[in-house]
Amino acid sequence: MTPTPLHLSRGGTSVVLEPHPLGLPVLAYWGADLGPVDGGELEAIATAQHSQRVSGGIDIPARLTLVPLESAGWQGTPGLVGDRAGTHLYPRFTVTSTSVHDDGATAVVEARDDDAGLGLTATLHLTHSGLFTQRLTLTNTGDDEYEVRSLALFFPLHPTAVEILDTTGRHLRERSPQRHALTAGTYARTSRRGRPGADATVLLAAGAPGFGFERGTVQGVHLAWSGNQQVLAEKTPAGAAFLAASEVLAPGEVVLAPGQSYSTPVAVGSWGDGLNELSARFHRDLRSRDTHPRRPRPVTLNTWEAVYFSMDLERLKALADRAASLGVERFVLDDGWFHGRRDDTSSLGDWYVDGTVWPEGLSPIIDHVRALGMEFGLWFEPEMVNPDSDLARAHPEWILQPEGRLPLPGRQQQVLDLGNPDAYAYILGRLDAILSEYEIAYVKWDHNRDLLEAADARTGRAAVHRHVQALYALLDELRRRHPGLEIESCASGGARVDLGILQRTDRIWTSDCIDPIERLVNQKYTGLVVPPELMGMHVGGPVSHSTGRAHTLPFRAATAIFGHYGIEWDISDLSEAEYSVLGRYVGLHTSWRGDLHRGTVVHADLVDPAMDLRGIVSADRRRALFGYSLTASSASYPPGPLTFPGLAADAQYLVDLAVPEEGHPGNGQSPLAWLQAALDGAPLRLSGRALARAGVQAPVLLPEQTLLIELRQED
């Protein structure tokens, strides 16, 4: 009897797997929930997808299977590339078992090819939020070595998918969006930087023509891996369209001895009617984790742009005093505290408190900070080493390098080989010692260099895969030894933003650029995967250190309000007016953060590209906070209406200002009716449906200005 297709269903998502006579099951469907379907309808759904045999083609039309292979007629990007010294290039797997678990939300497919000496396990899972995750494990069941060159995970696309969205970038400008037509052929985004990189896309998405945040069927894939990787979109001449993701492996990097296995990173797929729904699945899933931060995210002051390498105790105490008085809850001492570190050219790796700068150790500043009621955090860059350091001089063999020479330097530093047990033990020991000696609640874990020529100095073999595994083990062990420790993942800003690192850390530093104009774009597209409470958003100084642009304090403070709020600015000598404004925004954030960090993130699709409207709607949809920004001069004067997505359609909302002291912003020549009503204490009452469809007239703002709008149901 022919096996019945398999239907996984959960969280509004369905996946259909169809048995295939030539091996692994076909990915027949992934997308919106198909509802309750019986075996007969499942067979009909699968049958309806069968292709005709055509002239010039093979006799059995190729299908997109879990691991598409040439042995089943597949001539697109292959699912598995590997060999035994140049032989056994074309495996054909036979399914030996298929089991379903978790109330129909998880499937495990076991398969073998005894001729090739390979075993395969595919684990497919639908999370409660409707994310579709896949992982493959390949086992060498033969008698000699098998090299894995590539093992990819595939996700079928909806027939309406004709347009691709991804992001690119650089240091100080990560996650800039770009769009392309999905045409025949392959569009691939590949990272060989040893980390995803500032230019990496956090998501590769494809969808209906012109899909936006509010509407349009769209599907996207993310690879939860902190090393070399590739995501691609492909359309075959036969019309099959799919997304795929894989770790990028160097020659000889994964060679399986008999009995050994290689497991891919987890690939995560999400879909939605618009990017708001797609990203909400990621956010809900991350928030359901046991390790997800549960307590309110502390307002943080980081000292980097405030003092740089100046480790003057009295100056730092004054900064801490001012921070505490504003409502800051965590004080983080950045680079410059350890042995010999006076600038960024030396001493990485020498993780001992500098006795010339801190003759009494770090206790004086930590005790001062804690006496003010704040937590203390400390900066490390554990994976890096300066050649000008005691560590590098003592152990040059601990540096990742090809035979006979060091790679080109980056920021005057090289990379430690965490896969070397001795280097791993040293770094673990030094961090553990400092965390054990002092009351440190938070570590800012930096990573300021791409990996070049990352090879084991002892063997010459490629080492990125092993390095990332060792990094994960190091983070896991530190957290085991120090329960409650929170860790921020920073990598030249946002060069390592992925769900692999976020499984072991409590937030990412979204970008080293705190210019609010740049951050509006960066935070919007980072948020496709990362929820706001895991995204560091700080208020910088009056003039951006990275762009040189000057912005008003309300604009800088409002742009950061929706994430994990913080300050990156020397606030010790603020004027009374600046102190009052900053304190008001810190207070606004703390009063809203329960909803900001648990609610639904929404972005409005406005016609004018100069207009940006984003917000967070509380979980019960009783209130919402929106930020309307004018990022440049608008083509319309006055601008058009603002429409607010994500609200309860039938509920009545009062349309108010979150910061009434701002009054009528911008350069309008007369009061705006709804805004004046809010200032008069009689805000307009509109239904969620009216706000989403008719909206309210946008105020005439000056370019680079933000207005925070509060929508709330009456008690």
Q: Which residues are catalytic?
A: 446, 512
Instruction: Measure the CA–CA gap between 148 and 249, rounded to whole angstroms.
Output: 8
Helix axis angle for 313-326 and 576-596, nearest 10°, is 60
Q: What is the CA radius of gyration of the chain?
A: 27
Distance from C-alpha of 700 to C-alpha of 155, rounded to nearest angstrom: 45
The helix, strand and coil proportions of the chain, stated in percent and rounded to the nearest 5, come to: 25, 30, 45
Question: Which residues are within 8 A (CB) of 617 and not within 5 positions of it... i.e. 6 or more apart?
Answer: 599, 600, 602, 623, 624, 646, 647
Evaluate whether 22 touches 67 at the Cβ level (below 8 Å).
no
Q: Which of 263, 33, 56 is nearest to 140 (CA)?
A: 263
160: left (phi over 0), alpha (psi -120 to 50) or beta: alpha
CA-based torsion, 693, 699, 705, 706: positive or negative: negative
Tokens of 118: 């390979």
Between CA 365 and CA 416 the distance in angstroms is 30
Whether the link from the prior residue into 638 is cis, omega within 30° of 0, is yes
What 3-state class would DSSP assign to 571?
coil
> Which neighbouring-strand residues pair with 464?
none
Residue found by looking up tokens 């590539």 in the block = 150
- Interatomic CA distance for residues 130 and 133, integer angstroms: 9
Distance in angstroms (rounded) separating the CA atoms of residues 576 and 566: 20
DSSP 550: B
Q: Distance (Å, rounded) from C-alpha 539 to C-alpha 560?
A: 6
Rounded to whole angstroms, how far apart are CA atoms 178 and 201? 10
Among 592, 515, 503, smallest CA distance to 285 is for 503
